[in-house]
Amino acid sequence: MSWLVTGGAGYIGSHVVRAFQAAGIEPIVLDTLTSGVRAFVRDDVRFEHGSILDGALLLRLFTDYDVEGVVHLAGFKYAGVSVQKPLLTYEQNVTGTATLLGAMGEAGVDKIVFSSSAAVFGTPDVDLVTEETATRPESPYGESKLIGEWLLRDQEKAAGVKHTSLRYFNVVGSGYPDLYDASPHNLFPLVFDALLRGDVPRIYGDDYPTPDGTCVRDYIHVSDLAQAHVAAARRLAAGEPVERVYNLGSGEGVSVRQIMDAVASVTGIAFDPEIATRRPGDPARIVATGEKAARDLGWTMRHGLDDMVRSAWDARRSAD
């Protein structure tokens, strides 16, 4: 038996694939390579180039590889860009998920771990987000992830699908020197790329109601995140109860200024960040508790901030 990992050639997906291998679970990777990197998938992993919008391909994979369950990470993930590209976002994240669930139903595959997002919360009005915090997404991306959760819920009622959704917060770091965050929009690669070009990294807004005036976020290491997927898949496979959603958060926030200080310390490159105006829609603070995930999935923060920065920096430099 194997598990299909959609988007398994991406930054997060490739870490999940290696965590599955380390746990003795065979992963099958499906990726369009639109943002994924083929070299992130080792030669001993079966790789299929294709889209979750291709129902016939999905049916073949489920049959050919005796798939037991799915870890669904494929999709369009850029919240800011989704405002300019709502139709693409909905096609990839909503139609794609519906197509995947339809193929699962036809093939008799009834287990799925879904990659959701903190974007479903929008700008929360509480200091610490829980699974019960109201969802108020503020972008097509956040809306599409919330709809994905609804699709799983409704398919559970209609067809008995066993599922859980993992709501990620800010995923950083690297578990392997050859896996790095290649996103053109995430904070760590933006800061690293600026330093490697000899430019000064930028902070968007230093007048927020936070201790140092910069936004506070919840940063989690990608390897810890990958382990949570393995634990969720194992519980589903064993028929053990799971929550419909889990927040994967640290319970403690780190400011953008603190990130910049850690980057300067780890890289040995001294710099004074440029201060730009706030970006529309950036909440001052979003931090989540991971208590339910700790209870059920063994979720814990195994890496500190310096570890996150150092591993990400080393992996990014190895890419040049």
What residues are labeled active site?
Answer: 141
**How far is residue 191's CA from residue 200's CA, in Å, rounded to a whole number?**
8
Which residue is listed with tokens 């200091």?
127
Q: How many CA atoms lie within 13 A of 18 on its CB side?
A: 20
37 closest CA partner among 61, 10, 7: 10
**How far is residue 236's CA from residue 231's CA, in Å, rounded to a whole number?**
9
The first and second tokens of residue 231, run together, are 């634990």
Please state, as a whole number, how many other Cβ atoms lie within 10 Å of the Cβ of residue 206. Answer: 18
Question: Which sign does the torsion angle of CA 207, 211, 214, 215 carry?
Answer: negative
- Residue 280: which residues within 8 A CB-CB, separation 6 or more? none
Beta bridge partners of 113: 71, 164
**How far is residue 188's CA from residue 220's CA, in Å, rounded to a whole number?**
12
Q: Parallel, antiparallel, or unpaired for β 219-221 and 274-276? A: unpaired
Contact between 14 and 33 under an 8 Å Cβ cutoff? The reply is: no
| Inter-axis angle of helices 96-107 and 55-64, nearest 10 | 40
| Inter-axis angle of helices 222-237 and 11-22, nearest 10 | 50
Q: How far is CA 234 from the centre of its chain?
A: 19
Q: How far is CA 36 from the centre of its chain?
A: 13
Beta bridge partners of 246: 166
Contact between 75 and 115 under an 8 Å Cβ cutoff? The reply is: yes
